[in-house]
Chains A and B, each alone.
Chain A
Amino acid sequence: MSYSKFKETLLYQYGFAIFIAVAALGLTALTWEITQDAPFIFFFGAVVLSAWQGGLLAGMVCAAVSTLALDFFLIEPGFSLFTSQGEFLRAVILMLVAVLISWLEDQRNRTERSLRELTEELEVILNGVHEGLAAQDETGRFVFTNAAFIDLLRFPEPSALTNQEALVKHLTQHNQLVNEGGAPLTAADLPFRRVFSSGRTLQTTFGVQANGTTRWMTLQSTPIFDKQGKVRLAVNIFRDVTEQHQVVQVRLESEQRLRKLLDNLGAFVGVMTPDGILIEANRSALQAASLDAHDVLGKPFDQTYWWAYDEQVQAQLRDSIQRAACGETIRYDVKVRLAEDRYITIDFILAPIFDAAGAVEYLIPSGIDVTARNDLTRLLQVQQWRLETILNSIPGIVYEGYGGTNAGDQHMRFISHYAEQMLGYPLSAWRGAPNFWQRVTHPEDWDEAVRRATESYQNGDSSAIPFRCIAADGRILHVEAYNNVLTDLDGQVIGTCGIVLDVTERRRQEAEISRLNALISHERQRLANIVKNVPGVVYEGVGSPEQGVQRLTFISAYIEKMLGYTPEECLADPKFWQRIVLPEDWQATLDHLARIFEDGHSGTLQFRCFAKDGRLVYVEAHSSLLCDEQNTPNGVVGMMMDISERHQIETEIAHYAEDLRRSNQELEQFAYVASHDLQEPLRMVTSYLQLIEQRYAAKLDSDAKEFIAFAVDGATRMKLLINSLLAYSRIQRNDAEFERVSLAATLEQVLHNLQFAIQDTQAVITYDTLPEISANAMQMIQLLQNLIGNALKFRKPDQPPQIHIGAVRERGYWHLTISDNGIGIEADYLERIFVIFQRLHARNEYEGTGIGLAICRKIVDKHNGQIYAESIPNEGTTFHVKLPIDRSRRRITHGTPYSNLAG
């Protein structure tokens, strides 16, 4: 029995009252000696206590007992009631106190009881609630928890669940807390105590994961304020929402799937209100234009980026939205703008969605990229256009003819542009006339061409059919046709197609080529004949100097005749050249070859070879560089000739030349010696004879003087002869002494030299304008002086000499003439006069050494000229001197060098 129940019992109530009254009596008795007034206070307290504990009756009892006890024990022992007024008053006061206190207590008890009942009812109610409730104070202690709380949280020891820490520990010890997204959650994320600081209702949903299952709960923490507005308690309401959560989750997933589907749909999809405000757009639509949702959502659809590129498109869209809002489904192809100002064409559909009442709730705009579809159509057009362009650019007539295989009946569905260019007929003519091929084909070729075409259709081959066409301007063209049968899908023949090529030029070229081939083969034959008959060996060898010895690739048959080797033998030997070339000459041939490769020119080399029979043959090889197609030197071609004979002659000539040179040198030496060593004795003879004559004049008779005179005269003439001979021998051709010589100046000098003789003889000398020639000046003076001197000398005794010097330019030379009116020369002697020491006259008649004309001839000879004389005895002589204008020219040939005019 609980204390509270015990308090309800009568025993307790009255017993307590009596006991208290007794206790007050006892206390009074004890304190009586100290104070006389004390008993009333004790009894007053006892009544209060009794009334408080036991209620009105117990108070009354206690008051009565106290009155009695007071009266009996204290005032006057014995039981005389109300012995005084004061006593009565005390009793009444005690009664009133008992009444008052008991009433008060009763009131209090009554309130307490009803409160307890209320609380109990509340507890019953709260325990009956499915939500778990836990009210906590600021320290985290749970001041109230309901059964559902314990139950919900599956707390093993409900009595221990007294505060937040225990709850958190329980929640996190064996479980994993997660948030709605599935991310782990810590206790700190739960509201609990935060409510106190925030003062707001906080709510969270979390999952408790354990053993693979998740229980979802919502926790709502609500603050409860005291009168000061301070948060007194926080009421945590836990609710198990696992089932709801699952439902939501399923719906959420389904929604996400749907969204994902929409987002991943290639098509552009959106949702908008009937008045055209976009409220949803799938990812495809956004991404394609690089847009974010907030860029477009909530905006008029026609103002969005996709459309805002063209006002007309926007107007069309607005119109469509209005119509769709009235329940119509709109569909059309339109371009939309994507990122970077790219455009695609979409198949745009705007469909209304109706609510249950049949009113338009939303509009669904969607679009599928049909660029590809349009492209395909366009591609086909382009392909066709391209095909036609290609066909039109073919330099031949491409045609497609319908109406059977017979060309004559066909009409052209396609004829390439080249037809006009090739034959000159307009394309319309081809397309217009059904049998145009027949009109352009040469009449002689038509039947055969048709026959061959038919044949080729039957055989299935498409070989060329040659025939001739007549162009609009009348030209006749050679053409070749390649035809094929056209069938429909069922294999039914519907026509033919093909290409007709103009081969006129090719025919011409073929003819030209065959002409050239004939020419080449003719030339080749000729060349072969030349090579065969040329008196030398034609050869061709490959290999550069670096590669070593040349390998023969061709050698003409003459090799056999020249050296005795057969061409086959030569070609078979890779080291043929090395085998036959004299070893001493081998290096020279290699050097020569290297030089040809280096210079890239041709070159000639003489060397010696062994013939097959061992003879040593002098050869001269003229080689030219041979290049391959890349113009890289790779060999030589040339000709080799036997120059043994020439070599022998040359050797002999060289010997002769050497002999001649030596002989000339000796002659010069001799001449010099003569000029000194012959003259010394002469001088001695002369001088000493003269000395004798002078010193011994008195002792000499006239005979002696005459003899001495003869001796001196002889010696003097001897000296003259020697000097003349010297002059003759000194006439050499020395090119270095050749210069431009004015013959006019020469003549002037000569006339000056001869002035005394001219004066003496009263000669008349005339002359033409004389040229300037290339000559030895000294020798020219000598020449003219001798000839004019002769003319003066061999004058007629009775008349003064008349001399004319003439000059005429003839082909390649100057023809000089020196004519006189002298004694003339007998024809027999016209040649002899030029021979040294030949004299025609006695010394006492005409003095002279007989060497003057010999010198003239020699001078003229040295100038590569010609000298001869014409003469009529007793009338005069003409000396002809021909000097080449170009001194390097060959000697003037002696035709008829002289003639006797006298006959």
Chain B
Amino acid sequence: MAPPIQILLVEDNPGDIRLTQEALRDSKVHIYLSVVQDGVEAMAFLRRAGKYTTAPRPDIILLDLNLPRKDGRAVLQEIKADEDLRRIPVVILTTSDDEHDILRSYNLHANCYITKPLDLNQFAAIVKTIENFWFQIVKLPPA
């Protein structure tokens, strides 16, 4: 059996975490979803610092922008400034549809920007689309 796809979800809202988990539950691929709830934790996870020494290297990062402590934008900037980490695709998944946020994210080399829809079904569809696109169509860089 192929190793599971490692997803890191950076999200502070437990409701969204649960919704994401729900949406990924019926996935055809084997997914391992790690969740951290703020930017500092996210960087620690990625750098395997502190309690995350054994953390897996994620194949893709789902990043919310508005996060406690270290904000999602800062996290994005740090990832994309890191020689090693910047190859990991970062999908911005946020409530904001503010033009500035979109522009800024892409300027920081976000791989794609998705606004969370209000409708549950739409949200599910988006998650399915992400899964489909990133895990089945796209060739990810070797770990």
A661 to chain B, nearest CB (A): 19
Q: Which among A465-473, A484-492, A532-540, A673-681 touches the partner chain?
A: A673-681
**A672 within 8 Å of B (CB atoms):** yes
Evaluate contact between A672 and B118: CB separation under 8 angstroms: no
Chain A residues contacting B116 (CB-CB under 8 Å) are 683
Q: Which residues of B contact A682 (CB under 8 A)?
A: 118
Which B residues touch A679, using CB under 8 A?
95, 118
Place the interface of chain B in its size category.
Answer: 10 to 19
B119-138 with Cβ < 8 A to chain A: 119-121, 123
With CB as the reference atom, state the residue of chain B lying closest to A691: B120
A683 and B120 CA atoms in complex are apart in Å by 8
Q: Please indicate the chain A residues that have their CB under 8 angstroms from the CB of B96 in the complex.
A: 672, 675-676
Judge if A304 is at the interface, Cβ distance under 8 Å. no
Asked if residues A694 and B118 are in contact (CB atoms below 8 Å), the reply is no
**Chain A CB within 8 A of B15 CB:** yes
B34 to chain A, nearest CB (A): 22
Task: Let me know if A716 and B118 touch, CB within 8 A.
Answer: yes
B123 and A675 form a contact (CB under 8 A): no
Known: A675-B97, A676-B95, A715-B118. A687 touches B15 (CB 8 A): yes
How far apart sit A688 and B15, CA to CA, in the bound complex (Å)? 8
Chain A residues bordering chain B, tally (CB within 8 A): 17
**B120 CB contact (under 8 Å) in A675, A680, A694, A719:** A694
Q: How many Å lie between the Cα of A715 and that of B120 in the bound state?
A: 12
| Residue in A682, A684, A719 with the greatest tally of chain B CB atoms within 10 Å | A684
In angstroms, Cα B98 to Cα A715, docked, is 20
The answer, yes or no, to whether A606 is at the interface (CB within 8 Å) is: no
Contact B66 A676 (CB under 8 A): yes
- B22, A690: Cβ atoms closer than 8 Å: no
Give chain A residues whose Cβ lies under 8 Å from the Cβ of B118.
Answer: 679, 682-683, 686-687, 715-716, 719
- Cα separation A688 to B22 with both chains bound (whole Å): 11
Whole-angstrom CA separation of A682 from B13 in the bound complex: 13
- A691 to B120: give the CA distance in the assembly, Å: 7
Residue B19 is within 8 A (CB to CB) of chain A in the complex: yes
By secondary structure, the A interface counts as helix
- B90 CB to nearest chain A CB (Å): 19
Within B50-85, the residues touching A (CB, 8 Å) are 66
A304 smallest CB distance to B (angstroms): 118
With A676-B66, A684-B13 known, 7 other A-B pairs at CB within 8 A are A675-B96, A675-B98, A679-B95, A686-B118, A687-B19, A715-B118, A716-B119
A691 touches B22 (CB 8 A): yes
Chain A residues with Cβ below 8 Å from B19 are 687, 691
- Residues of chain A within 8 A (CB-CB) of B94 are 676
Residue of chain A at shortest CB distance from B15: A684
Q: How far is the CB of A351 from chain B (nearest CB, A)?
A: 131
Check A680–B123 contact: CB distance below 8 A: no
A686 partner residues in chain B, CB cutoff 8 A: 118-120
Determine if A687 and B120 form an interchain contact, defined as CB atoms under 8 angstroms apart.
Answer: yes
Min CB gap B119→A, angstroms: 7
Q: How far is the CB of B102 from chain A (nearest CB, A)?
A: 13
> Contact between A687 and B95 (Cβ–Cβ < 8 Å)?
no
**8 Å CB contacts to B: which residues of A562-613?**
none
CB contact under 8 A between A690 and B98, given known A676-B66, A683-B116: no
Contact code string A619-643 (vs B, CB < 8 Å = 1, else 0): 0000000000000000000000000
Minimum Cβ distance to chain A for residue B56 (Å): 28
Rounded to whole Å, the gap between the CB of B10 and the closest CB of chain A is 16
B1-26 CB mask vs A (1 if < 8 Å, else 0) is: 00000000000010110010010000
Cross-chain pairs A/B with CB under 8 angstroms, 19 sampled: A672-B98, A675-B97, A676-B95, A676-B96, A679-B95, A679-B118, A682-B118, A683-B15, A683-B16, A683-B118, A684-B15, A687-B19, A687-B118, A687-B119, A690-B120, A691-B19, A715-B118, A716-B118, A716-B119
Q: Closest residue to A718 on the B side, CB-wise?
A: B118
The complex places the Cα of A686 from the Cα of B124 at a distance, in Å, of 13
- Chain B's nearest CB lies how many Å from the CB of A695? 9
A684 to B17, CA, bound (A): 11
Instruction: Mark out the residues of chain A between 635 and 692 whose CB falls within 8 Å of any chain B CB in the assembled complex.
Output: 672, 675-676, 679-680, 682-684, 686-688, 690-691
A687: chain B residues at CB < 8 Å are 15, 19, 118-120, 123
C-alpha gap A894/B42 in the complex (Å): 57
For A711-754 the 0/1 string (1 means CB < 8 A from B) is 00001100100000000000000000000000000000000000
Give bound CA distance, A719 to B15, whole Å: 18
Whether A690 pairs with B119 at a CB distance below 8 angstroms is: yes
What's the Cα separation between A684 and B97 when bound, in Å? 17
Least CB distance from A722 to B in Å reads 10
Contacts of B16 in A (CB 8 A): 683
Docked pose: A601 CA to B19 CA in angstroms: 73
What sequence of 0s and 1s flags, for each residue 249-284 of chain A, a beta carbon within 8 Å of any chain B beta carbon?
A: 000000000000000000000000000000000000
Q: Which chain A residue has the least Cβ–Cβ distance from B94? A: A676
Given A676-B66, A688-B15, also A683-B95 (CB < 8 A): yes
A687–B123 CA distance with the chains assembled, in angstroms: 9
Contact mask for chain B residues 90-123; partner A; CB cutoff 8 A; 1 contact, 0 none:
0000111110000000000000000010111101
Rounded to whole Å, the gap between the CB of A15 and the closest CB of chain B is 187
Residue numbers in A under 8 Å from B123 (CB-CB): 687
